[in-house]
Chains A and B, each alone.
Chain A
């Protein structure tokens, strides 16, 4: 007996029925009406209290409620739909992951995940049973977002194996597709076969099931049938240590620690301790050891290093490739940081107070871009009859400044400062200064005086190694009493000096030469030897000569290793500041000289003669990079007739492109290179004019690989289990090439409606008569029982 029969409805010719409430405009309206009716009944009952016996009250209230309930039913317009149907086969959607991560093998037998899927699909159970009653569609999917792709295949074909291709795993794209397909025709179930190594939106959400559920619902990602998941790959997957993320600021300050956080994921390795390093090229900048969690998972390592050069650099984080690892590529990751300078830190060490020192110190002190630390020797190493408390003198902290804190400076200036052990200066301190320049890229200046150069005992010391001039000849002159020249002289800019950026006192080279010619002569100079290899004399003595007969260098400069040095063999350069003022001029020449000297010594990027730029900072492999090179002469005028060579090099040193740039005029050159590989490329440019190098420059671009697929390789059973729960399905796995169970499917038979007939359950005279009877009966009883 069923409802139509109970109601006496003729169901002949129909095999199904459906009960419906046609009049319900909406849930809220139904609830509102129900509440109004209940309130009305309640009020009636309250009116009767104390005026009638309980039995009468219950009878009256029962009649009222029966009437109201009848009215509510009439309002809801119940009806039966009788259906004439034929059974049909519903579809089952089996979505199979074919992203590149499915090529990852499991350790147990070395079988790739996609092969495990093929094996599982080659089994009879449960597929044959499902295929018997359903149309099973085998869908191979790959790709992320708009690149999502789906291909349909047959089980026998898939079980023979399939190619993994496409970019990244994006389960949200696959679910959106399955949800849509499941609504297009009767669907008994959806089966998602994947490793779950998602790189789409779901990977960010699966830590919060509530958010995941909300996301799935909001985006209609749950199919209209039970969603079962099949995890491929498992606990027995091969061991893998991977760098998941490197977190560092985009900018860092020179000689200040740059903090780098590295997120590592480990699987199947156990609780090992592994080294992690940050390097720049082959130079290791920081290293630490990381304890990997015994049960696998992620761990964070913190490292720091102090960059020593200004510019844009690519650094590499690396962990070792452990035994059994099959994805060595995810054990290193490159990242880029732009190193800038907030202030130039200058260490000014002065052998004795003098006017030369006063003018230089004031110049440095007044420059807001300079952080100056000075030390001056204020007294001789002779006894004086005063107590320490009467004096403001402090100990000379040689070890502090020349050992512990030296790395915090950009530039060290020795002004008439003598190397004497009595000051506490040890040979190691001088070696430190040499390393500071040669290895760490610092700047060094030696200014003249009777305690400087060879007269300051620097002959044969590490300081001589970094000076632009030799001291040995000068040492012999010193012994002969000729180490210092006392004559007044007017130094002359050398040919190289006229072009050198350090000597630029005016933007116009001609005007700059005129200014140099107008500066007052100097009094006395330290005799120095020939120039060191690679050094250049900028100002020379008009008559004194070096041992090889060259004009004696008064101001000379050199690039030494990574750093630069400047020698000024005079102690009256303050004349350049002071005397022009008396002649009606300004001290601008002196200020410019030191400003340019400090910029040159500290390698101010603005003083580069070459400047490489690219149209973008990121490319995909195969895309064309548009490289532009700006070329300036030593006097900073545009050079349009240079040979400019450009090459792009990977971080491993592989040259991926080598081109000659063509001139665009006005000192601009351009060329195009194809990006290839993945990671960063260094775009190097070098310009030559007349066979002489005008300098080099480089910039970094990132080639973004098509896929980040192998950044995340471990199967995510937790995500798949959550999806199965939310999709009312079951969570399964493939073990030893077999499915661990059967996916959940809808029980009911799918059918096709051939015809239908609607039978209204409210639109009958009986309902109206019943309502009238109930109302009249209540009215009659009320009258009889003396109620209004």
Chain B
């Protein structure tokens, strides 16, 4: 039986730690042969961020690229390094099944056509990650996300995802949620036919992922510091993995391994 364990260690946060980690990863990745390139830009995994009029649709411009770099570095997923910005009315919306929606204020009232299109997008295979830049569960962004959820899925409530939800074990085994600031101890979600299609984070995941163009992290993570940031990256990666593999980690073959490691 082959084991894919090649090297183990701990990831240390912090500026120098990150730089050292990135350098090490760079060395290791390029020191090993990589497969041929995929079928072109369209077939990569894109971090598609929803652009809308009004409010602050892009408070952390580098967040998506940072997450994609993390995903590309540690998983076999082929990622597009550059964030893709899409509007719900864009013709190529369905080219990007994973959507990221963030903001620091209330969302605009999307048209009924946009809502219907987004509903189809999610129900037939997509996933929407809403991320509250304000980290305020009672703030305007959170309120408008709940309204959006209600319009999209009037019969399915946006409710906390249980701690044994697949999203907490798709790649990393996570015990809690994370983000720039821990405003909520859970992720909320809407599940349709057994697949969670809409995830809402109140903890500003993007704020934790974002770096300045100089390479340093833009925001401090409270109260857990760099360890909390590391968990935010891991949660982001798990969400991407969930979008692509859905309930794979709930397959019977994984259960004994995961139970043993969670003990």
Contact = CB atoms under 8 A, between A and B. Distances in A.
A424 B75 contact: no
A392 B172 contact: yes
Given A378-B171, A386-B8, A578 B29 contact: no
A581 B124 contact: yes
B43 A379 contact: no
Contact of B39 (A358, A382, A385, A524): A524
A355 B74 contact: no
Interface string B157-168: 000000000000
A357 B244 contact: yes
B53 to A, nearest CB: 22
A719 interface: no
B60 interface: no
A582 B29 contact: no
B24 interface: yes
A449 B39 contact: yes
A281 B232 CA distance: 63
Contacts of A391: 171-173, 261
- Report which residue of A359, A385, A450, A478 has the largest number of chain B beta carbons within 10 angstroms of its beta carbon: A385
B173 A378 contact: no
Contacts of B244: 353-355, 357-358
Nearest to B40: A486
Given A358-B245, A362-B195, A393-B171, A384 B7 contact: yes
A574 B125 CA distance: 10
B153 to A, nearest CB: 16
B97 A578 contact: yes
Contact of A355 (B25, B34, B97, B195): B97
Contacts of A383: 6-7, 28
Given A361-B248, A400-B1, A449-B39, A387 B9 contact: yes
B39 A486 contact: yes
A523 B43 contact: yes
Interface in B242-257: 243-249, 251, 253-254, 257
A377 to B, nearest CB: 5
Contact of B93 (A486, A574, A582): A582
B43 A571 contact: yes
Contact of A399 (B1, B8, B171): B1
A376 B2 contact: no
B125 A582 contact: no
A418 B77 CA distance: 14
Given A361-B245, A376-B248, A389 B38 contact: no
B167 to A, nearest CB: 11
A223 interface: no
Nearest to A352: B76
A579 interface: yes
A129 interface: no
A392 B171 CA distance: 5
Interface string B8-37: 111100000000010011001101101111
Contacts of A398: 1-2
A285 B24 CA distance: 57
Contacts of B45: 354-355
Contacts of A449: 38-39
A275 interface: no
Interface string A379-414: 111111111111111111111100000000000000
Contacts of B241: 353, 378
Given A385-B8, A389-B173, A397 B246 contact: no
Contact of B36 (A374, A390, A484): A484
B170 interface: yes
A392 B1 contact: no
Contacts of B83: none
Interface string A318-333: 0000000000000000
A455 B38 CA distance: 11
A726 interface: no
A382 B6 contact: yes
Given A392-B257, A423-B2, A582 B38 contact: no
A525 B124 contact: no
B110 to A, nearest CB: 16
Contacts of A422: 2
Contacts of A359: 125
Nearest to A570: B39
A373 B8 CA distance: 28
A378 B120 contact: no
- Report which residue of B35, B40, B251 has the largest number of chain A beta carbons within 10 angstroms of its beta carbon: B35
A513 interface: no
Contacts of A396: 1-4
Given A395-B3, A578-B97, A455 B76 contact: no
A455 B40 contact: no
A395 B4 contact: yes
Interface in B171-198: 171-173, 193, 195
A572 interface: yes
Interface string A335-361: 000000000000000011111111101
Contacts of A524: 38-40, 42-43
Contacts of A358: 97, 125, 243-246
Interface in A541-576: 570-572, 574
A441 interface: no
Contact of A389 (B193, B246, B261): B261
Nearest to B245: A353
A398 B4 CA distance: 12
B36 A581 contact: no
B261 A395 contact: no
Nearest to A351: B76
A451 interface: yes
A361 B246 contact: yes
Interface in A460-500: 478, 483-484, 486, 488
Contacts of B171: 378, 391-393
A210 B8 CA distance: 79
Contacts of A194: none
B29 A382 contact: yes
Interface in B202-218: none
Contacts of B173: 389-392
B39 A378 contact: no
A563 B252 CA distance: 28
A396 B261 CA distance: 17
B172 A484 contact: no
A587 interface: yes
A101 interface: no
B240 to A, nearest CB: 9
Contacts of A373: 251, 253
Interface of B: 1-11, 21, 24-25, 28-29, 31-32, 34-40, 42-43, 45, 74-78, 93-94, 97, 117, 120-121, 124-125, 169-173, 193, 195, 241, 243-249, 251, 253-254, 257-258, 261
Given A386-B11, A395-B1, A397-B1, 8 more contacts: A358-B244, A359-B125, A362-B195, A380-B32, A392-B257, A395-B4, A484-B36, A486-B40
The 4 closest A-B pairs by CB, nearest first: A424-B2, A524-B39, A383-B7, A353-B244
6 contacts: A353-B76, A379-B4, A379-B74, A381-B6, A449-B38, A450-B78
Interface of A: 351-359, 361-362, 365-366, 373-400, 418, 422-425, 448-451, 455, 478, 483-484, 486, 488, 523-525, 570-572, 574, 577-579, 581-582, 587
